[in-house]
């Protein structure tokens, strides 16, 4: 049966009231945190505002497949071919401590080289690179920038771990205060604005189990334009490769560093492969653009594989890999117009990622220059 996919037009987005002012507050808070991170994170460098802790930067090949149905063969996916790529595996937080405190929310930054067309970043339109910034959860935990501001402030107040000497009663009372403040905006929101959807999304996020980074599926969370249509994109393990992974479920309390050793060991021993998949919206009520807490039902529109992401067998365990990770910039808006991020949350990421990258590179005395190929990231011999 032929599906009727929602056509992209600018009016699928609705700008949040006070968007510019709230975004400026987010940027100010971000810069304050990043400047403080030089001291608080203990590594002598300013860290990213998100995905601060990198677990490994790997060489990859990105193959856009032929024979894809026309509705999915849109934008960069309309021209089959192979491209060099790099993948940065990371934690999702803005800290770089031990894995037990950072938790199981992880992500990948995918950079594809040799893509035709201008990017949506005005300061580097001709980079011919294309990025995805993805998380191991299908949805985001807020729908609006206003909710993001107060929820972020709650977690800033909490710190990474509660005091160890709290009684069970004190812990329960603290949890109740957190949930009340989360839902009500610290008592500032009218009942019709309470963040029930955000709370549900956050509780689902909190149930994520730590597994080898190669076994996770990674999503855009928010919607993106897909040529003539509206989509979400995910990168999912190919089952035959996932079955060979030996270091699978991970115990984050077993050591200070858990994710990176497991990833490094697997890639030293064998290659790996992911499917790059697109889900097209068929109904903006059930598959909305502005509500990023909503999981799009696969019963309405399944994910369709449009590309392969292949990681060759390689050694990413050296100390030099950390430096390469730190220099590499991943930005959700380093894409072509045909793949424009959609919605208020996704729109805010343009300046958040850009200004974070500029500030971090300046503070760490690094040249902010987009690479043209793997050789400029890893060096000629390592990229071969």
How far is residue 116 CA from its own chain's centroid?
A: 23
Alpha-carbon gap, residue 49 to 33, rounded angstroms: 7
What is the fold of 10-383? Catalase HpII,  Chain A, domain 1 (2.40.180)
Sign of CA dihedral 144, 337, 231, 8: positive
Sign of CA dihedral 157, 160, 163, 166: positive
Of 296 and 147, the structure prediction assigns the larger pLDDT to 296
What's the pTM value of the predicted model, to 2 decimals? 0.93
Residue 240, pLDDT above cutoff 50: yes
Residue 288, pLDDT above cutoff 50: yes
If you write DSSP's letter for every residue of 334-378 in order, what string do you get?
-SBGGG-B-SHHHHHHHHHHHHHHHHHHHHTT------SSHHHHH
Q: What is the arithmetic mean of pLDDT over 287-293?
A: 96
CB-based contacts of 127, cutoff 8 Å, min separation 6: 119, 121, 334, 370
Residue 336, pLDDT above cutoff 50: yes
Domain boundaries, the chain: 10-383
Give pLDDT tens digits for 184-209: 888 888 898 888 998 888 888 888 99
For residue 163, name the pLDDT band (cuts at 50, 70, 90): low
How much of the chain, in percent, has pLDDT values that exceed 90?
Answer: 76
How far is residue 158 CA from its own chain's centroid?
A: 23
Residue 1, pLDDT above cutoff 50: no
Q: What is the arithmetic mean of pLDDT over 81-105?
A: 94
Give pLDDT tens digits for 246-281: 999 999 999 999 999 999 999 999 999 999 999 999
If you write DSSP's letter for every residue of 67-134 in order, what string do you get?
S--TTTS-GGGGS-EEEEEEEEEEESSS--S-HHHH-S-EEEEEEEES--S-BS-TT-TT--EEEEEE
Neighbours of 321 (CB within 10 A): 20
Query: Using the 8-state DSSP alphabet, how is residue 2 labeled?
Result: -
Alpha-carbon gap, residue 289 to 281, rounded angstroms: 9
Backbone angles phi, psi at 88, to 5 degrees: -105, 120
Min mean pLDDT across 156-160, 214-218, 256-260, 340-344 is at 156-160
Residue 153, pLDDT above cutoff 90: no
pLDDT of residue 160: 47
For residue 150, name the pLDDT band (cuts at 50, 70, 90): confident
Give pLDDT tens digits for 305-329: 999 999 999 999 999 999 999 999 9
CB-based contacts of 79, cutoff 8 Å, min separation 6: 64, 116
Min mean pLDDT across 66-75, 91-100, 315-324 is at 91-100
Q: What is the arithmetic mean of pLDDT over 140-165?
A: 73
């Amino acid at each position: 049966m032929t599906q009727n996919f929602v056509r992209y037009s600018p009016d699928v987005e609705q700008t949040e009231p006070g968007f510019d002012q709230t975004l400026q507050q987010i940027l100010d808070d971000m810069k304050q945190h990043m400047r403080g991170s030089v001291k608080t994170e203990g590594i002598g460098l300013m860290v990213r505002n998100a995905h601060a802790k990198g677990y490994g930067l790997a060489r990859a090949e990105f193959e856009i497949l032929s024979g894809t149905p026309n509705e999915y063969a849109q934008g960069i996916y309309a021209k089959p071919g192979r491209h060099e790529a790099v993948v940065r595996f990371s934690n999702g937080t803005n800290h770089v401590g031990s894995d037990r405190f950072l938790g199981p929310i992880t992500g990948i930054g995918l950079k594809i080289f040799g893509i035709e067309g201008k990017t949506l970043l005005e300061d580097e339109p001709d980079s011919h690179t294309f990025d995805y910034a993805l998380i191991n959860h299908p949805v985001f935990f807020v729908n609006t920038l206003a909710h993001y501001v107060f929820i972020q402030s709650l977690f800033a107040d909490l710190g990474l771990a509660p005091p160890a000497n709290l009684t069970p009663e004190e812990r329960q009372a603290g949890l109740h205060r957190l949930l009340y403040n989360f839902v009500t905006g610290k008592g500032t929101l009218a009942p019709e604005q309470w963040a029930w959807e955000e709370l549900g999304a956050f509780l689902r996020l909190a149930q994520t189990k730590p597994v080898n980074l190669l076994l996770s599926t990674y999503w855009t969370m928010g919607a993106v334009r897909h040529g003539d249509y509206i989509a979400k994109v995910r990168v999912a393990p190919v089952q035959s490769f996932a079955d060979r992974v030996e270091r699978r479920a991970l115990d984050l309390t077993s050591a200070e560093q858990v994710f990176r050793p497991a990833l490094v060991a697997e890639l030293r021993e064998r290659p790996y492969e992911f499917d790059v998949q697109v889900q097209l919206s068929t109904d903006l009520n059930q598959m909305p653009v502005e509500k990023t807490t909503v999981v799009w039902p696969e019963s309405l529109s399944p994910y369709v594989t449009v590309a392969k992401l292949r990681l060759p067998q390689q050694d990413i365990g050296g100390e030099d890999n950390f430096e390469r990770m730190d220099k590499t910039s991943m930005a959700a808006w380093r894409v072509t117009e045909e793949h424009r991020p959609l919605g208020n949350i996704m729109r805010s990421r343009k300046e958040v990622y850009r200004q974070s990258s500029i500030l971090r590179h300046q503070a760490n005395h690094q040249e902010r220059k987009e690479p043209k190929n793997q050789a400029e990231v890893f060096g000629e011999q390592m990229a071969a």
